[in-house]
Structure 1
Amino acid sequence: MKKNLFGLLGLSTSLIFPATSLFAQQTKRPNVIFILADDIGYGDLSCNGEKTIHTPNVEKLASRGVRFTDAHAVAATSTPSRYSMLTGHYSWRRDDTGIAAGNAGMIIRPEQTTLADMFKSSGYATGAIGKWHLGLGDKTGTQDWNGFITPGLKDIGFDYSYIMAATGDRVPCVFVENQRVVNLDPNDPIEVSYEKPFPGEPLGKDHPELLTVLKPSVNHGHNQAIVNGISRIGFMKGGKSALWKDENIADSITSKAISFIENNKNHPFFLYFATNDAHVPRVPNPRFVGKSGMGARGDAILEFDWSVGEIMKTLEKLGLAENTLIVLTSDNGPVVDDGYQDRAVELLGKHRPWGPYRGGKYSNFEAGTRIPFIVSWPGKTKTGVSNALVSQIDLFASLSSLVGQKKKEGVAPDSQDYLNTFLGKTKKGRKYVIEQAGALSVSTSDWKYITPNNGPAYNKLTNTELGNSKEPQLYNLKTDRGEKVNVAAQNFQKVEELKVILEKEKALNPKYVPVVK
């Protein structure tokens, strides 16, 4: 039996008990789909008011549900953001949730309870398809890429999985289905290292003539193993028949998502569908190339919109659309140049991926964590726009409430029930959200406080303002949503008020130390 997240701390080891609610009694259990974009910002979708790009399928989804304008990821980078969303546990309570290497051990440990566990215990079929980036196996560098990789996603509640082990720019560049590498030739075994290259394997930094698809930007680190004419982070040998084709990633994961829906059409399911768009390296399918007028990044956003449309068409064809709740969001804010010469900056034009906000991926400023967020359930969500302050951390508790489950002590300890807010039945949101980048920050609907720290103010590689400062920062988000004027010195009482909130949150739950055998 799985141990609870805080089992080691002497708390309850129960998972979650079924609870009877009026909502659960009156409503047929809905299917639930997460559509998680990668590095797509608030301003990258036309439903949020950006006129330079058109994402019609996302617009259609938003027209059927609630579009949130003040929604936040927990962190401004992928691994900690995804960890928090799937566990209802703040990533900053741990020391090992930074951006994971391609051969990282599992960040979410089998003794923890995940959203997938919750749905599975409620009788749902569960699936994870697409980008994972939360580690596999027990410890870093110990995975058996040529056999059964354990622990894996089945150990944290997913019945089915078809995933990229990490990201498109990190080896191994293979799909892993139900904890085995897809299309692997046993006579050509895979070797992976993040410490030293393999003799005889060419590297991007030494053989630029082999980089026929994309070349790395200077000093970004994407100059190691070469796969499909693109150099990546990390070193890899073998597995030639198993390597993905970058231009087909969206097609591959979308077709697997459609198959999962079709295979589970007769009983409730939870699908975590995490796309690769618009993460680097951006190599959209040829049918999208040139369509956005903004180069590969813009084309990748159109490819994401296509994936959304394919999911929606499948639900409609199977008669499932009316009984499926879809959450569409992104893992963090946008980044334009993130390591490859894809002309994303040059071709950006008037497009503003960050919308009216400051910063982006990696940043403490608003654009780092203020993300697109749509909840659509035809006939059940009150359609329109909500300015309620919401956080991805609360999806766990809210969806537990949706299916009539009562969250027990120690499970998803930072997640709160905002189901009625997510369904648009009330505009009442959180009093505050906690966010993580180079530092911790706390935001209300009106104010944002960023804690002092010694981090760099600017990331020269990505041309991003990181929002780090040795001085306390306070911004009035109502009058200064672009965070241009630090008013901490003039608002000492407000700074102290937000500092107290943050300190209380830090002390609220014990620090979690994962079990690694």
Structure 2
Amino acid sequence: MNCLRFSLAFLVLSVFTSFAQADDRPNFLVIMCDDLGYGDLQCYGHPSIRTPNLNKLASEGVRFTSYYSAAPVCSPSRAGLVTGQTPTQVGIYDWIPGGSPMHVRAEEITLPKLLKTAGYETGLFGKWHCNGKFNSPDQPQPNDLGFDYWFATQNNAGPSHENPTNFVRNGKRVGPTQGFSCQVVVDETIHWLTDVRETDKPFFALVTFHEPHEPIASPDDLVKTYPDADKKGEALYYANVTNVDRAVGKLLAKIDELNLRDNTLVLFTSDNGPETLNRYPNAWRSHGSPGPLRGMKLHIYDGGIRVPGIARLPGKIEAGIESDFPVYSLDLLPTFCELAGAEIPQSAKLDGTSLAKMLAGETVERKKPLFWHYYRAFGDAKVAVRDGDWKLVALWDQGNVSPGSAYKKGDYSLIKDVKFTDFELYNLTEDIGETKDLKDQHPEVVARLKKALLNKYDEATSNAIDWFAERN
């Protein structure tokens, strides 16, 4: 693979090596939205949506223009972040309905497990969506995967974002809550930070907002600030994103108040691209934007997987910079573990790369290209790899399947036995919208990336789990 040099201006090696001292290890705060599009933030070019707190966060750190999720749909994306592996490799193939046999297994190596072993306090707040039998002894729960404390829902906030009733705290149902989901989640995170966690330990907090996923509900005072949003549901969506921004501002203000700012690595991102308006009747409020990218949620093209990514670590990351270096949510596990001094077992089959050397201005070499697989993606394009500027997309031979309709009996063969009939090649630096297929002009690049793609696909599916066979 190509050696990719990180072009950001970071401080010198002595800053990085100071993390070797346990008392100075960074905290990690990951904030992830649900279905937030690449073009949905003001600092990513949205012409109408106001996001002042996220604009400020970007001005205080780095705004990534090539940040990628692990998948174009929610459950695989979350499983990838937690395990550091291609979601297919751990058996998470699609979004997980309630009651589904699909889940992240207890034996998986996970980021919160590794950080907990290294002495970190770990907390999950918001949407979980890594099992079908939520809060049941029949499947692993967040605590089984390394979270000391969890306040979560299986999937969406229900019955809507306003006053949700389906949160569970450490195995006990919470009942009715007051407010909008992102504020409810932030309030619980603040409670944990101030009143629950052991303050002499570093922490890892995974904050997973439900917004702006349907069913959308937004504060009236924010909806009224978008009088020019004249399409049905548009003002609700815009206000929903601004409400997320408001919640982020509240959480970051508490980080400052607790004197945690200078030693907390904050990452803001999304699980996948924006929902489309035409997929199901209740999506009439989904007005998310992929910006200049091709496709949206459920697409293997960049609109489904390239998402906002903003990182801040004062004194370590220079403020107000931008990078087009490709960053991957699967990079978080090895990066955080290196910064935390957490040992990763040799048996771990990680697909990301530690980016910790970037803090020293050093070259980072990826041994594997970035890889995505989603067998129910829109169209025939189901698998892709990115290496440097190049992205290769693989088209399959199985015809149309219903996008995003969840893993079912009989789907195992769609994962295990497919053949790829054609490939498309794009230069993402020159063609961010993936409009010009260059496979005929660069056969040598196609041959190299095709080999890498097929090898990784075989590896990811070699021990694929047939969940319904296992249940029976």
The corresponding residue for 1:492 is 443
The corresponding residue for 1:307 is 247
The corresponding residue for 2:463 is 511
State the distance in 2 between where 1:457 and 1:511 align.
23
Spell out, residue by residue over 1:122-173, the C-alpha distance to the aligned partner (whole angstroms, 9 max, x if none). Answer: 1111110101111154xx9xx65xxx78632111111111101112479996
The corresponding residue for 1:290 is 224
Match of 2:323 among 373, 383, 386: 386
Pairing of 1:228-247 with structure 2 (within 5 A): none
Match of 2:25 among 11, 16, 29: 29
- Tell me whether 1:154 sits opposite 2:143 in the alignment: yes
Spell out, residue by residue over 1:226-260, the C-alpha distance to the aligned partner (whole angstroms, 9 max, x if none). Answer: xxxxxxxxxxxxxxxx5x67x63222111101111
Indicate how the Cα distance of structure 1 residues 25 and 508 shifts in structure 2: closer, same or farther if over 3 A, else same. Answer: farther
Q: Tell whether the 8 Å contact from 1:393 to 1:414 is kept in structure 2 after alignment.
A: yes
Tell me the amino acid that sits aligned with residue 387 of structure 2.
T
Q: Tell whether the 8 Å contact from 2:389 to 2:429 is kept in structure 1 after alignment.
A: yes
Pairing of 1:48-197 with structure 2 (within 5 A): 48-105=44-101, 107-135=103-131, 137=133, 144=136, 151-168=140-157, 174-183=166-175
Q: Tell whether the 8 Å contact from 2:62 to 2:317 is kept in structure 1 after alignment.
A: yes
SS at match of 1:503: helix
State the distance in 2 between where 1:257 and 1:514 align.
36
The corresponding residue for 1:188 is none
State the distance in 2 between where 1:79 and 1:402 align.
27
- Tell me whether 1:253 sits opposite 2:253 in the alignment: no
SS at match of 1:406: coil
State the distance in 2 between where 1:312 and 1:370 align.
24
State the distance in 2 between where 1:275 and 1:460 align.
20
Between Structure 1 and Structure 2, which shows a larger proportion of helix residues? 2
TM-score (norm 2): 0.80
State the distance in 2 between where 1:21 and 1:325 align.
16
Q: Tell whether the 8 Å contact from 1:333 to 1:368 is kept in structure 2 after alignment.
A: yes
Is the deviation greater in 442-451 or in 407-416? 407-416
Q: Tell whether the 8 Å contact from 2:129 to 2:155 is kept in structure 1 after alignment.
A: yes
Pairing of 1:237-386 with structure 2 (within 5 A): 248-263=180-195, 264=197, 265-292=199-226, 293=229, 294-337=234-277, 339-341=280-282, 343-344=284-285, 353-383=289-319, 384-386=321-323
Q: Tell whether the 8 Å contact from 2:27 to 2:203 is kept in structure 1 after alignment.
A: yes
The corresponding residue for 2:9 is none
Aligned residues: 419
The corresponding residue for 1:433 is 370
Indicate how the Cα distance of structure 1 residues 310 and 106 shifts in structure 2: closer, same or farther if over 3 A, else same. Answer: farther
Identity percentage of aligned residues: 29
**Rg (Cα) greater in structure:** 1
Q: Tell whether the 8 Å contact from 2:92 to 2:104 is kept in structure 1 after alignment.
A: no
State the distance in 1 between where 2:104 and 2:401 align.
31
Tell me the amino acid that sits aligned with residue 401 of structure 1.
E
Pairing of 1:427-506 with structure 2 (within 5 A): 428=364, 430=366, 432-437=369-374, 438=377, 439-453=382-396, 454-456=398-400, 471-506=422-457
State the distance in 2 between where 1:474 and 1:267 align.
47
Q: CA deviation at 1:447?
A: 1.8
The corresponding residue for 1:210 is none
State the distance in 2 between where 1:500 and 1:460 align.
28
Q: CA deviation at 1:175?
A: 0.8
Q: Unaligned 5+ residue runs, structure 2?
A: 1-15, 406-419
Indicate how the Cα distance of structure 1 residues 42 and 25 shifts in structure 2: closer, same or farther if over 3 A, else same. Answer: same
Q: Tell whether the 8 Å contact from 1:450 to 1:473 is kept in structure 2 after alignment.
A: yes
Q: CA deviation at 1:471?
A: 3.3
Q: CA deviation at 1:492?
A: 2.6
State the distance in 1 between where 2:318 and 2:293 align.
27
Q: CA deviation at 1:476?
A: 2.3
- Tell me whether 1:410 sits opposite 2:344 in the alignment: no
Q: CA deviation at 1:381?
A: 1.3
SS at match of 2:250: helix
State the distance in 2 between where 1:433 and 1:460 align.
22
Tell me the amino acid that sits aligned with residue 446 of structure 1.
D
State the distance in 2 between where 1:30 and 1:333 align.
29
Spell out, residue by residue over 1:72-112, the C-alpha distance to the aligned partner (whole angstroms, 9 max, x if none). Answer: 11210000011011001111224443110023356221111
Pairing of 1:188-227 with structure 2 (within 5 A): none
Indicate how the Cα distance of structure 1 residues 497 and 275 shifts in structure 2: closer, same or farther if over 3 A, else same. Answer: same
State the distance in 2 between where 1:108 and 1:458 align.
24
TM-score (norm 1): 0.74
State the distance in 2 between where 1:103 and 1:424 align.
46
Q: Unaligned 5+ residue runs, structure 1?
A: 1-19, 184-241, 462-468
State the distance in 2 between where 1:81 and 1:152 align.
17
Tell me the amino acid that sits aligned with residue 174 of structure 1.
N
